[in-house]
Structure 1
Amino acid sequence: MTTKETFFLHGENLLKKIKELIAEGNIRKITISEKDGKELMSFPLTFGVVGVIVAPILAAVGAVAALIGECSITVEREETPKDDKKPDAHTL
């Protein structure tokens, strides 16, 4: 199951926020939009993304951040299934 979350920020904080989100590790997709809703860029992230693959994405985000003022980031997160079962009394 995926959930979406949107952050509103200024361009100068964009790269920092993207790095924080990537470090979380449960992100499936990031979309960056202008304040009027026009999509600027969108990129999927998969489990096990390494620095070599992320570096070009961060370079592109840095270039976009230098050109825009206010923007929004929409993040699709992969939720881990929660086990709602209570442990049996004899397994404690």
Structure 2
Amino acid sequence: MSFKESFTLHGENLVKKVKELIEEGNVRKISISNKEGKELMSFPLTIGVVGVLLAPILAAVGAAAAFIGECTITVEREAPEEEKKEL
């Protein structure tokens, strides 16, 4: 089971926020949309994605951040274990 969460921020904070989300570990997918709602990029994250595999993702996010004003990050997260047991 998963749930979605959205954050609105400016392009200069985009890479920092994406790094924070990846480090949390329970993120399954990240989508980045412009202020009109058009999806600019989306990438799935699997367990164990680290280091060298993150470099291309962060480079793409960094390049997009240079051109994006306000944007929305939509994060699909894995539900915590205790919530899974309740379902």
Q: TM-score surpassing 0.5?
A: yes
Give the SS at the match of 2:47.
coil
Gaps of 5+ in 2: none
Residue of structure 2 in register with 1:65 after alignment: 65
SS in 2 for 1:67: coil
Aligned partner of residue 54 in structure 1, secondary structure: helix
1:5 shift after superposition: 0.1
TM-superposed deviation, 1:45: 0.0
Amino acid at match of 1:21: L
Q: TM-score, normalised to structure 1's length?
A: 0.88
Report the AA paired with residue 63 of structure 2: A
Tell me the residue number matched to 2:50. Answer: 50
Considering only aligned residues, what root-mean-square deviation do their CA atoms show, in Å?
A: 1.0
1:27-57 deviation per Cα after TM superposition (whole angstroms, max 9, x unaligned):
0000000011000000000011111111000
Identity of aligned residues (%): 73
Runs of 4+ aligned residues of structure 1 deviating over 2 Å after TM superposition are none
- SS state of the match for residue 66, structure 2? helix
User: Could you tell me how far 1:79 is from its partner in structure 2?
Assistant: 1.1
What's 1:77 paired with?
Answer: 77
- Larger Rg, first or second structure (1 or 2): 1
Q: Which amino acid aligns with 1:42?
A: S
Aligned length: 84
Give the TM-score taking structure 2 as reference length: 0.93
Q: Are 1:3 and 2:3 an aligned pair?
A: yes
Equivalence for 2:28 = 28
